[in-house]
Amino acid sequence: MKTSVFLKNTCETCTLVGPLVEKYVETDALEIYFQGDSFFSSNVPVIQDLDLAFSWKAAISIVPTLIRTDDLGSEIERVEGWDADKWAELLSIRVPDDFPKFKPGCASDTLAPGMEQKLAALFDKSILKSREISISSDEDGIEACYDRSWSDGLPVVPPTKERVLKMLSGTDRDPSEVLGRVPPNLVECTVEKVAVNAVLAGCLPEYMRVVVASVEAALEDEFCMHGLLATTYFSGPLIIVNGPVVQEIGMNAHGNALGQGNRANATIGRALQLVIRNIGGGKPQGVDRAAFGTPGKLGFCFAEDEAGSCWESLAEEKGFGSNESTVTLFAADGVQAIVDQKSRDPESLARTFASALKSVGHPKLALASDAILVISPEHERVFRLAGWSKVDLKASLNKLLFMPGKELVEGAGGIAEGLPAKFRTRSVPKFRDGGLMIVRAGGKAGMFSAIIPGWGASGKLGSVPVTRKIL
């Protein structure tokens, strides 16, 4: 049998029990571990646990902690804080009458901010499976990431073991869980590998659940990530976030929602792109064959502004509850502006939207690209005051977006581009059924809305938007 006690000199309860511990040392064997310097006299044998290795191994969260183990090292009993009866029993001592019966302890130094991941990185050699790469002390960490082609062109955060462990604390998923195979090289992607790239992207641990769900959505066959990567078109993955998680992690659904300035928006989208780059091998001038690309390929992510909206959210349209958090992935191009500062009735504003939407891809092309219509609060107000639901707006747009085939076929209007001649006698919808989505976002001031066009290969022959619940 062995008895151990863990103490630290800044703990009031530890200094209270110190004299009893010293007395016990004189009569029996007791291992004394100190987090920091000992406050005992120099002739009392102590083990200074300066790097907290012993405390970490013993899972100490409170000091003082008294532990009794058997001859094989298995724990028999543990007492955290001061409990006079239990300490007397375990140490076979008499507690003075003027001692308190109970006194809570203090937090162990192992619980200091960031210490859990630091200690795990130091002492647990099995927790991470990724290959560890050592760099010299003379090598700059950020430049080392550039040199190894882990960057999208902007500086990244070096993914140290400690940082990766901290990122993994943001999810309950097993680090070794395989989420799927990342194109184009179809490499297995684990939760741990996602965490590595989330660190590179600059994410906070609380974003990790959203990043994992986004990766899972991107790996769905329906999303066609390989085709989206290999196309010469402009598109890349866009993430739209819905539900309580938006407020929990501080995402931006308001002014400049589609732009820079919000860490969650910027880094969640970037993390997905880095997963495709670093795990799947999808890099520009390689399998990524975009002729132009778009700045959104650095990372495109925003939240829908559900608060105050008179419409059901995108997630609710997809069958999820308002209390569920989701990501929706869309194969997106850049942002196209819509300006209408004069329409005050829904019919007029719907015609403006329809006119702008007809230009997606090309004014003479139909049933190709999907699109997202992002409606600002000021434009949404026009429909709200008129009592129009999102269903009403979509019905109006669907009618307005039917176009005479004779204006769309090749050669019409003196433009060679266009639909095949067989469409000349038909009325053709601009979008396939379900190919136009509507979300609410943006600043409160400004009678502007936006179109986010989709990949020219949208739908069953290309990419379909995919919505996943955030676990």
For the segment 279-336, what is each residue's pLDDT rounded down to a tens digit? 999 999 999 999 999 999 999 999 999 998 989 999 999 999 999 999 999 999 999 9
| pLDDT (0 to 100) of residue 300 | 98
What's the start-to-end Cα distance of the chain, in Å?
A: 45
Given the DSSP bridges, would you call strands 236-242 and 300-303 parallel, antiparallel or unpaired? Answer: parallel
Instruction: Give helix 208-218 / helix 191-201 axis angle, nearest 10°.
Output: 120
Q: Is residue 432 a part of any domain in this protein?
A: yes
Residues 107 and 235 in one domain: no
**Is the model more confident about 471 or about 461?**
471
Phi-psi category of residue 312: left, alpha or beta, with phi > 0 → left and psi -120 to 50 → alpha? beta
Q: Is residue 325 a part of any domain in this protein?
A: yes
Q: What is the DSSP string of 419-434?
A: B-GGGTTSEEESS-TT
Q: Which residues contact 368 (CB under 8 A, 6 or more apart)?
A: 361, 456, 457, 458
User: By residue range, what is the domain housing residue 350?
Assistant: 217-469
276 contacts 215 by C-beta, under 8 angstroms = no
Split at pLDDT 50, 70, 90, the class of 7 is: very high
Structural domain total, the chain: 2
Q: Is residue 124 a part of any domain in this protein?
A: no
The per-residue pLDDT for range 238-274, each reduced to its tens digit, is 999 999 999 999 999 999 999 999 999 999 999 999 9
Angle at CA 193, nearest 5°, toward 192 and 199? 90
Residue 107 has pLDDT above 60, yes or no: yes
Using the 3D structure, point to which of 111, 140, 172 is the last residue of a domain.
111
Residues 321 and 438 in one domain: yes
29 contacts 54 by C-beta, under 8 angstroms = no
| pLDDT (0 to 100) of residue 172 | 95
The per-residue pLDDT for range 342-387, each reduced to its tens digit, is 999 999 999 999 999 999 999 999 999 999 999 999 999 999 999 9
Helices (H), 105-207: 115-123, 141-147, 161-168, 191-201
Q: Which residues contact 25 (CB under 8 A, 6 or more apart)?
A: 32, 44, 45
Point out which residues pair with 62 in neighbouring strands: 107
CATH number (domain holding residue 52): 3.40.30.10
Split at pLDDT 50, 70, 90, the class of 137 is: confident
Question: How far is residue 245's CA from residue 303's CA, in Å, rounded to a whole number?
Answer: 10
Residues 369 and 252 in one domain: yes
| pLDDT (0 to 100) of residue 441 | 97
Residue 28 has pLDDT above 70, yes or no: no
- Residue-averaged pLDDT of the chain: 94
253: Cα separation from own chain's centroid: 16
Q: Is residue 95 a part of any domain in this protein?
A: yes
Using the 3D structure, point to which of 111, 132, 152 is the last residue of a domain.
111
The per-residue pLDDT for range 390-400, each reduced to its tens digit, is 999 999 999 99
Using the 3D structure, point to which of 87, 111, 135 is the last residue of a domain.
111
Residues 107 and 223 in one domain: no
| DSSP structure class, residue 68 | E
408 contacts 362 by C-beta, under 8 angstroms = no
Q: Is residue 329 a part of any domain in this protein?
A: yes
* Minimum mean pLDDT range among 182-191, 225-234, 452-461: 452-461
> How many Cβ atoms are within 10 Å of 369's Cβ, its own excluded?
26
| pLDDT (0 to 100) of residue 26 | 63
| pLDDT (0 to 100) of residue 116 | 86
φ, ψ (nearest 5 deg) of residue 179: -90, -20
Question: How far is residue 250's CA from residue 248's CA, in Å, rounded to a whole number?
Answer: 6
Residues 104 and 247 in one domain: no
Question: How far is residue 221's CA from residue 227's CA, in Å, rounded to a whole number?
Answer: 10
Q: Is residue 200 a part of any domain in this protein?
A: no
Residue 29 has pLDDT above 90, yes or no: no
| pLDDT (0 to 100) of residue 251 | 98
Residues 107 and 251 in one domain: no
Q: Is residue 358 a part of any domain in this protein?
A: yes
Q: Is residue 239 a part of any domain in this protein?
A: yes
